[in-house]
Amino acid sequence: MTPPRRQLGIAVAAAIVIANMIGAGVFTSAGYQAAYSFKDPLTMMSTWVVGGIVALCGAAVYAELGSLMPRAGGEYVYLREAYHPVVGFMSGWVSLVVGFSMPIAAAALLFASYIGALAPSLSEPYLVKGLACALIIAMTALHAFDTKVAGRVQTVFTVIKVLLITGFIVAGLLIGSGDWGHFASRGDGLSQITTASGAANYATALMYVSFAYSGWNAAAYIAGEIKEPQRTLPRSLLLGTGIVMVLYILLNLVFIYAVAPEAMGADPDKAPVGALAARALFGTHAGDLLSSLIAIALMSAVSAMMMAGPRVYATMAADHALPAVLAKYTKRGVPAVAVITQCVLALAFVILADPESLIRLVGFTLAIFAALTVGAVFVFRRRGKVSPYRTPGYPVTPLLFLGLSVWTVYFGVSNQPKLSLEIVGVLAVGAAVYALTSRGKSRAPIEADE
């Protein structure tokens, strides 16, 4: 078995964070928000600010945990050591089923939707799913080949993605045919959250935003392959998250400038807000060109998640929590079987699910385990474990993350019994798998440093 090599620098690590974050969510969330919860533009914008603050707080805490335990695996490693192996396993299970496979499927389906909007002959549902599957298979082939090559390709993808989005924002505000009247207040705005139904709606809106921001912790999953992780990991997490937060706020400003919230929510599955905004700002032909560029950005998101996710499963397999074959790295530094496993799961979700249901389940489930992970920083500090990197603003930073995360999950899930059952179902299957795989197997502690 060939162990992973530390060969990735800050450029690749930050690119992984940015590319994991900028996926399907930002190009669809505003439409789902307008369709199912708030149509007040200032309220919608506030969710992107709040979501960004939560992501930055989480990234700061993960930077401390990652510096303390610079291993591939992310939450699986941190929760295993902070609480109990079963908690770590459940987080890894959620990453396998919900954290990567579902977002890959959602991003691939959105990519195919943009292609279908550009070429109506490809807009039939079976063709959309076929295009999504083809993208996943192509990215699997790339990331099953060579880690260093895939990392370089991912960096180029990410640079192109950021430049495209920045160009869209600048062009939209300077020469786009938008209307600042779209920002006129609707209803009671933020005051609605003082009621139970308003709080539930706002929490649901935040859930869509949380899905868009998910991926801020991506560098932690490849920590075992990052050079000088105690220094590089914190920088990449905070740099990547900060860049994306600024882009998201400005991008949603442009979306509302281009399209009134009522129009955004008309049919968010078939008419993603990014495509609507591009056509409203620049006309049909220029809008189609920008839609094709957004499709390229979604390719980058699928690529990034295909690179990060398998490292979690490989770490779990090395710890005897999953079949040992998933832990095998090729001579080129790739956990190839884990990559292929990721591919199969993502293809299954493309075939069986729709983007909105995937987004809802991913948003709330990941929030639960991210909160548990952020809480782990208190556990490690009480044990006297000192990390080379310390969370700025401790203990306010982790407490703010925990408070907002718990509030969002509670109000968002409380009035959605079907979603609650889906989350319980995912966790129950994970518990059953743990019970089967853990019998008679001991797990050695994971060292804090190398």
pLDDT tens digits, 4-30: 666 667 887 888 788 778 876 787 777
- The whole-number average pLDDT for the span 220-240 is 79
> What integer pLDDT is reported at residue 449 of this predicted model?
44
pLDDT tens digits, 166-209: 888 999 999 888 899 988 877 666 666 777 777 777 887 888 88
Confidence of residue 448 (pLDDT cuts 50, 70, 90): very low
Of the listed ranges 57-66, 123-132, 170-179, 433-442, the one predicted with least confidence: 433-442
- The whole-number average pLDDT for the span 413-441 is 77
342 vs 349: CA distance, rounded Å: 11
Whether 445 maps to a domain, the answer reads no
CA distance to 28, 29, 104, 153, 343, per residue, from 347 (Å): 21, 22, 9, 22, 6
Whether 2 maps to a domain, the answer reads no
351 vs 340: CA distance, rounded Å: 17
Whether 95 maps to a domain, the answer reads yes
Residues shown for the chain: 450
149 vs 131: CA distance, rounded Å: 24
For 31, the domain range is 10-437
Whether 268 maps to a domain, the answer reads yes
> What integer pLDDT is reported at residue 242 of this predicted model?
93
CA distance to 38, 126, 328, 391, 433, per residue, from 356 (Å): 16, 17, 34, 34, 27
Q: Is the dihedral of CA 58, 61, 67, 73 positive or negative?
A: negative
Whether 5 maps to a domain, the answer reads no
Let me know: does 375 contact 394? Beta carbons within 8 Å. Answer: no
Is it the case that residue 399 has pLDDT exceeding 90? yes
Whether 203 maps to a domain, the answer reads yes
Beta bridge partners of 226: 8
φ/ψ of 198, rounded to 5, equals: -65, -40
- The whole-number average pLDDT for the span 69-83 is 80
Report the predicted TM-score, pTM, of the whole model to 2 decimal places.
Answer: 0.78
301 vs 215: CA distance, rounded Å: 10
Confidence of residue 230 (pLDDT cuts 50, 70, 90): confident
Tokens representing 393 are: 């603003």
112 vs 11: CA distance, rounded Å: 29
User: In 3D, which of 79, 115, 176 has the Cα closest to residue 375?
Assistant: 79
pLDDT tens digits, 318-365: 877 777 888 888 887 788 888 999 999 999 989 887 766 777 777 778
Say how many domains are in the chain.
1
Read off the CATH number of the domain in which 165 is found: 1.20.1740.10
Whether 259 maps to a domain, the answer reads yes
> What integer pLDDT is reported at residue 332 of this predicted model?
76
Q: Return the HEC string of 75-134.
A: HHHHHHHHCCHHHHHHHHHHHHHHHHHHHHHHHHHHHHHHHHHHCHHHCCHHHHHHHHHH
Confidence of residue 450 (pLDDT cuts 50, 70, 90): very low
Whether 443 maps to a domain, the answer reads no
Mean pLDDT of the chain: 81
Helices and strands: H and E segment counts in the chain: 17, 0
346 vs 301: CA distance, rounded Å: 13
User: In 3D, which of 215, 256, 227, 298 has the Cα closest to residue 47?
Assistant: 256
